[in-house]
């Protein structure tokens, strides 16, 4: 009987070791997964393919696919990316600007938006990445102080920057991912919606509006949306 209990204790010890080993392997996998996603997000090397409005042929050999419709930059932030547009809003969730599979995807324009950004309201999406990568940088705009210090940027339209606009950030807040006014891009209702949800007292009705949207965290239906005016240079 003593030998039996000794054997049982040995088995129990090995079981504990196996359970902790399994938990450790899960932890190592999660660390690797986060590392892989972070280091495979678009980095600054993408800037070598940024169009030059003064040299339309500068990027004629760019490996970015023909689904690129523009390039968005917000000054003094990490937001400096090509804008892609697919036939639906699923394609660029896991496809990078070079057409390759990527968990971090691309920054992309809603498939229903006009690719020349002539709609009264256009909407761009991007994954929420750690350390301000991709559209993780939108978090900071929820601070009014930060927003006021980072209001300017540029929207180059077309693969070779055929048209260049100034953009001016004017509001940012969280909304439900089911909010139809924003995510169905209700052109005639967007200005009233922004006024209702923000501290603004008026909106420049003569300017087109660009929304930049990202999720707040995994599994949440809440979204951060930063609103900008599109202005002629």
pLDDT digits 0-9 by tens, 87-143: 999 999 999 999 999 888 999 999 999 999 999 999 999 999 877 789 999 999 999
Is residue 154 domain-resident?
yes
Q: How confident is the model at residue 19 (pLDDT cuts 50, 70, 90)?
A: low
The helix/strand count (H/E) of the chain reads as: 4, 8
pLDDT of residue 133: 85
Is residue 116 domain-resident?
yes
Is residue 24 domain-resident?
no
Structure-token pair, residue 17: 């070791």
Provide mean pLDDT across the span 57-81.
Answer: 92
How long a stretch of residues is the chain?
233
Helix, strand, or coil (residue 119): coil
In the chain, the number of structural domains is 1
Which residue is associated with the tokens 């309201």? 121
Is residue 27 domain-resident?
no
DSSP 80: E
- Can you spell out the DSSP letters for 175-219? EETT-HHHHTT-TTTHHHHHHHHSS-S---TTSEEEEEEEESSTT
Tell how strand 208-215 and strand 80-84 pair up: unpaired
pLDDT of residue 13: 60
CB 211, CB 198: distance < 8 Å: no
How many C-beta atoms surround the C-beta of residue 65 within 10 A? 17
Structure-token pair, residue 151: 């209001």
pLDDT of residue 3: 61
Provide mean pLDDT across the span 66-72.
Answer: 97
Strand partners, 83: 70
Is residue 4 domain-resident?
no
DSSP 47: G
pLDDT at 44 over 80: no
For residue 120, give its domain range.
44-232
Q: How confident is the model at residue 16 (pLDDT cuts 50, 70, 90)?
A: low
Is residue 30 domain-resident?
no
Is residue 182 domain-resident?
yes
% of the chain with per-residue pLDDT over 70: 81
Integer Cα distance of 52 and 80 in angstroms: 14
């Amino acid at each position: 009987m003593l030998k039996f209990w000794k054997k049982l204790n040995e088995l129990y010890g090995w079981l504990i070791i196996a359970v902790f080993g399994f938990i450790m392997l899960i932890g190592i996998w999660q660390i690797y997964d986060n590392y892989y996603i972070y280091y495979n997000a678009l980095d600054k090397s993408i800037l070598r393919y940024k169009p030059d409005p003064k040299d339309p042929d500068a990027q004629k050999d760019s490996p970015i696919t023909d689904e690129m419709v523009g390039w968005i930059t917000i000054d003094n932030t990490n937001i400096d990316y090509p804008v892609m547009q697919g036939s639906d809003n699923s394609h660029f969730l896991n496809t990078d600007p070079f057409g390759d599979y990527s968990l971090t995807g691309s920054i992309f324009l809603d498939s229903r938006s006009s690719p020349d950004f002539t709609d009264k309201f256009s909407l761009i999406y991007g994954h929420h990445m750690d350390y301000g990568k991709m559209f993780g940088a939108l978090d900071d705009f929820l601070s009014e102080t930060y927003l006021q210090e980072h209001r300017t940027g540029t929207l180059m339209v077309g693969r070779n920057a055929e048209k260049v606009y100034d953009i001016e950030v004017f509001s940012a807040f969280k909304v439900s991912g089911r909010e139809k006014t924003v995510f169905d891009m209700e052109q005639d209702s967007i200005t009233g919606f922004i006024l209702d949800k923000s501290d603004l007292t008026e909106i420049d009705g003569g300017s087109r509006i660009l929304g930049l949207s990202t999720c707040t965290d995994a599994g949440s239906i809440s979204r951060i949306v930063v609103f900008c005016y599109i202005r002629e240079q």
